[in-house]
C-alpha cells in the first residue's frame, strides 16, 4: 500500500509501508512536515561526513542520502535556527555511525577497542575542545558536534546534556556485554536500558536549543510535559524494534523488545510482533491525550510578563516537536536504507559499513 506519496530523497520514489508496520493513525493524525532548510542540511551533513572521515568516500557517495539521517532530524526539530538544526543533524549522523562501530566491535569481539572508545567518549564529552584533532575520526567528529551543541544555551544545559550522554555511553557498554555474552534482558530490564541506548533524554534535551530557550526544571518535571516527552521517545524506540526485528534476528541480536518477549514471556514470533505493535499503538493513543494537558500547561505559563510569554512559546514549540517526532520516525523507517534488510547481500552486515570496524 502506498502510505505516503513521495519520499523526501532526491529520487522521489513512492514509499510502500508493509501492512504489518502501517499505522493509519500516524498517516492521518500526524501530518508530516520538513524544515525548509532540509535540502541544504542534507548537502552539508554529507560534506561533514566526508570531512570528518566518518564514512569512506564511496560509502558516503552511494549510501549517505539514502540513509535519510537528515530527513529524520528535519522532520523533528521544526522551527530550529538553521545553525542549530545543522549541529543536531551532524550529531545525529555521528550517533548512527557510532552505533554501527559499536555493532562491528560486538560482531568481531573487539572488547579492548570498545573499552578504549568508551573511556575516550566520556573524556571527549567533558572536554570536547581537547579532542578535536584526535586520530580516531569518530572521537574527533564527536568532539566537533558536541562543542557546537554546547554553544547554543547556557552552561547548565550543557551539563545536563553531558550527564544524559554519559548515561547513554554506559548503557551502550551494558549492551556490549549483553551481546557478547548472549544475554537477553528481561522485558522490564530491557525497557529501562532502551531508554538510554535510544537516548530518550538527549533528543528531548535538544528540543530546547531548537526553541532557543533553556527550560527551567519545574517545566521539564511537569508531569504532562515529561510524560509527553517520554511517550514520543518510547514510540520511536518500540517502533524501531518492530521494524528492525528481522535485521536483528538475522544478526543474532539480543537487544530488541520482541526478542525479550519471545524468550522471557514465552511468546511466538508472531505474538511478539503483535505485542510490540500494541505497545506502539498505546503510546500514540496516550500521547494524543497527554499532549492536550501539556499544551494547557504551556498556555498557563503566559502570565502577562515577557518572560511568561517567551516561556509559554518555547514549551509550545517543544511539545509541537514531540508530535513531529512520531511522523519523522515513522517515515524514516520506511525510507531509510538502514532498514531495507531484504536488499542487502548479507542480512547481518549493512552495506553502508565496513565489516572490519575502523578505529585504533
Question: CA-to-CA distance for 200 and 74, rounded, in angstroms?
Answer: 18
Catalytic residue among 179, 195, 220, 338: 338
The contacts of residue 91 (CB under 8 Å, 6+ apart) are: 145, 146, 148, 149
- Give yes or no: 198 in active site: yes
Q: Alpha-carbon distance 241 to 270, whole Å?
A: 14
E strand or H helix that includes residue 16: strand 15-16
What is the C-alpha separation between 327 and 61, in angstroms, rounded?
A: 27
C-alpha cell at 82: 538553521
* Residue 96 designated active-site: yes
CA-CA distance, 150 to 146, in Å (whole number)? 6
Catalytic residue among 4, 142, 198, 326: 198
The catalytic residue among 96, 116, 148, 174 is 96
Residue in the structure block whose three cell numbers are 517526532 = 325
Phi, psi of 16 (to 5 degrees): -110, 120
* Alpha-carbon span 22 to 20, nearest angstrom: 6
Other CB atoms within a 10 A radius of the CB of residue 161 amount to 21
Where would I find the H helices in the chain? Answer: 24-29, 38-51, 57-59, 65-67, 69-74, 82-107, 111-126, 137-149, 155-181, 187-197, 200-205, 207-211, 217-220, 223-250, 257-265, 269-300, 306-335
Closest C-alpha to 104, from 180, 36, 17: 180
Catalytically annotated residue among 4, 30, 95, 326: 95
Q: Which pairing describes strands 2-4 and 15-16: parallel, antiparallel, or unpaired? A: antiparallel
Residues serving a catalytic function are: 95-96, 198, 338
Amino acid at each position: 500500500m502506498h502510505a505516503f506519496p513521495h519520499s523526501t530523497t532526491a529520487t522521489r520514489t513512492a514509499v510502500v509501508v508493509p501492512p504489518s508496520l502501517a499505522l493509519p493513525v500516524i498517516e492521518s493524525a500526524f501530518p508530516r512536515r520538513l524544515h525548509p532548510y532540509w535540502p541544504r542540511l542534507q548537502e552539508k551533513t554529507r560534506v561533514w561526513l566526508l570531512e570528518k572521515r566518518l564514512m569512506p568516500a564511496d560509502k558516503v557517495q552511494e549510501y549517505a542520502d539514502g540513509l535519510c539521517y537528515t530527513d529524520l532530524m528535519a522532520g523533528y526539530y521544526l522551527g530550529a535556527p538553521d545553525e542549530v538544526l545543522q549541529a543536531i543533524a551532524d550529531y545525529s549522523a555521528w550517533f548512527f555511525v557510532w552505533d554501527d562501530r559499536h555493532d562491528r566491535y560486538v560482531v568481531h569481539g573487539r572488547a579492548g577497542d570498545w573499552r578504549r572508545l568508551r573511556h575516550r567518549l566520556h573524556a571527549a564529552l567533558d572536554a570536547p575542545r581537547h579532542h578535536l584533532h584526535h586520530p580516531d575520526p569518530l572521537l574527533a567528529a564527536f568532539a566537533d558536534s558536541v562543542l557546537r551543541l554546547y554553544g547554543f544555551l547556557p552552561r547548565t544545559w550543557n551539563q545536563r546534556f553531558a550527564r544524559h550522554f554519559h548515561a547513554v555511553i554506559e548503557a551502550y557498554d551494558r549492551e556490549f556485554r549483553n551481546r557478547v555474552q548472549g544475554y537477553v534482558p528481561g522485558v522490564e530490564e530491557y525497557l529501562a536500558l532502551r531508554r538510554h541506548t535510544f537516548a530518550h533524554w538527549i533528543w528531548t534535551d535538544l528540543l530546547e536549543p531548537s526553541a532557543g530557550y533553556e527550560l527551567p526544571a519545574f517545566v521539564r518535571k511537569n508531569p504532562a510535559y515529561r510524560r509527553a516527552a517520554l511517550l514520543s521517545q518510547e514510540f520511536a524506540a518500540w517502533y524501531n524494534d518492530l521494524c528492525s526485528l528481522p535485521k536483528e534476528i538475522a544478526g543474532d541480536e539480543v537487544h530488541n523488545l520482541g526478542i525479550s518477549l519471545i524468550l522471557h514471556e514465552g511468546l511466538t514470533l508472531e505474538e511478539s510482533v503483535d505485542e510490540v505493535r500494541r505497545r506502539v499503538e498505546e503510546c500514540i493513543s496516550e500521547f494524543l491525550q497527554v499532549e492536550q494537558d501539556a499544551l494547557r500547561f504551556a498556555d498557563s505559563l503566559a502570565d502577562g510578563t515577557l518572560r511568561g510569554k517567551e516561556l509559554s512559546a518555547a514549551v509550545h514549540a517543544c511539545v509541537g516537536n514531540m508530535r513531529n517526532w512520531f511522523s519523522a520516525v515513522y517515515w524514516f523507517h520506511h525510507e531509510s536504507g538502514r532498514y531495507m534488510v531484504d536488499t542487502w547481500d548479507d542480512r547481518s552486515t549493512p552495506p553502508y559499513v565496513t565489516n572490519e570496524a575502523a578505529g585504533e
